Every structure is written in C-alpha cells, then in structure tokens.
Amino acid sequence: MVSTFGQVVTATLAAEAGGALGIVIEGGSKLRRHNLVWVAAGAMLAVTCLDMLPDSYPELGATSLLVATISGGGLIAALGKIAPTICPACDLHNSEYNAMPAIRGIWFIALALSIHCALDGVGFVAADNLNRHHDVGLLIGLSLHKLPEGLALTLLLLRAGFTRRRAFLWTIFTESFTLVGAGIAAILDRQVLPVYVAGTVAFVGGGFLYLVAKTVLVGPTSKHGAGRFVRLRAAGIGFLCTALVILLTR
C-alpha cells in the first residue's frame, strides 16, 4: 500500500501531468478541457460530502463541523477577491475569453494558488490520518482535482506570454506546495488532538465545496459555451463514479 505522503506525491504528479497536457493541447478543443474540469468538480464534491465531512463529524459534532466548513469556504472566497483567481481550473472558461490580467496579477494568482495547493496537501494528510487507513477515494478525487488545475494554470501562463518551458516550470513550482502542506500536516499530526485534525479536514472541505459551486454553478455563460445542464451532467458523472469508488473501498 502506498504511504500517505506517496499518495500526495501521486496527486501532485497528476497536476504536473495536467501542466504537460496543457502544453500539448494548447489551442485544442475547449469543450473537452471544460468537461474535464466539471467532472473533476463532481469528484471533489463526492470526496467532500461522502468522505471528508462525514469522517470529521464524530469528532466535531454538527455545530463545529458547520463552523469549520463555512470558515474554509470563506477563506477561499476571500483569497479569490484578492487574487484574479485562486483556482485557474474553476475560471478556465472565462479566462479563455476575457483579457489577461497584468503580470502583477499573474504573481498574485501564483501566490493564491500556492496557498490553495498547500491547503490541498494539509487536507489530504489530515483526512487520511483521521481514518487511520489509506483512502483510495480521496486519492482519486484529489488527483482528478489536481489534473485540470495544472492544465489550467499552464494555459493561463501561456496566454500571459510565458514560454512553454517557463509556464511548465512555474506550474511544477506552484503545485509543489501541495507537498509542503502535506509535510507540515504530517509533522503536526502527532502533536495535535483528533478534534483539531477533524476541524482541519472540515475547513479544507469547506474550501472544496466553494470551489465546486464556483466551477459548476457560477461557471461559463451560455453565450460563450455550454449551459448549466451540460456542466451539471459532467459533474454528476464525476460525482457518481467517485462515490462508487468511495463506497467500495471504505
């Protein structure tokens, strides 16, 4: 069985594979890229609702779980107000049609996404350790989340004028903060009570819920592409497939 940190490495490599894919398919079918993002959003919804939050509930109770979840979503929403985007995959459609932010905005995006990636790593290790067993559903969900994230970041940097090599290296650097977050969580896990681990999982899960809603419900307009039904259908496929894996591996 792959170790927890090894699973985080796998998910990080998925993001970097997405970055490489972004270089290969630059200028290709936008709808295929968007479908990948929406399927990944559905997968993260399944992981959050069927895995992360239920596992946190016994330690936190309903009220604390709700507070932690809302706080996590609030943090990601606040970061999204500061940076042009904290989730390039969530805003992939709009970024392909709207003007690119100034280079200063690109650095803000990289900083915000680095924080996002670190929280991914923290949440993964905390959730895995909360169960005290390796969580296959969580690994699949996080990997599906990271793949379009790396793809979208690379495409965003290419549109900003980065060379392919520089865009890919920046994607690798930014996504490596997932490992930083995982390392911090692994160090602190043995020094904190389970209730705080559960609170961390719920906090990160709240951020995931915000990003899912932003991706699927506040996504592209029908003027530029697929309507809400198409987004919900793709997300539903991701949700059902991941939910099946979670139920079969628990």
Q: What tens digit of pLDDT does each residue of 158-211 get?
A: 877 788 888 899 999 999 999 999 888 888 766 777 888 889 889 989 999 998
**CB contact set of 235 (below 8 Å; sequence gap of 6+):** 38, 39, 41, 42, 45, 212, 215, 216
Q: Is the pTM of this model over 0.85?
A: no
pLDDT for residue 222: 41
Which residue is it, tokens 């719920």?
202
What the block records as the tokens of 57 is: 């509930």
> Element (H or E) spanning 241, and its range?
helix 228-249
Of the candidates 178, 176, 174, 179, the one whose C-alpha atom is nearest the C-alpha of residue 156 is 174
Highest mean pLDDT among 85-94, 103-112, 232-241 belongs to 232-241
pLDDT digit string (tens) for 110-157?
Answer: 787 888 889 888 888 888 777 665 667 778 888 888 888 888 888 888
Q: Is the four-CA dihedral 192, 196, 197, 198 of positive or negative sign?
A: positive
Helix 4-24 to helix 136-159 angle, to the nearest 10 degrees? 30
* 113-135 per-residue burial string, b: 16 or more CB within 10 A, e: under 16: bbbbbbbbbbbbbbbbbbeeeeb
Q: Which of 167, 173, 141, 169 is nearest to 152 (CA)?
A: 167
Supply 189's token pair. 């896990």
Q: Cβ distance 212 to 48 under 8 Å?
A: yes
Q: Does residue 230 have a pLDDT over 60?
A: yes
Whether 224 shows a pLDDT value over 60: the answer reads: no
- Spatial distance between the Cα atoms of 237 and 249, rounded to a whole number of angstroms: 19
**What proportion of the chain, given as a percentage, has pLDDT over 70?**
82
What's the chain's average pLDDT? 80
Averaged over 225-249, what is the pLDDT?
A: 83
pLDDT tops 60 at residue 1: no
Banded model confidence at residue 247, pLDDT cuts 50, 70, 90 = confident
Q: Is the pLDDT of residue 31 over 70?
A: no
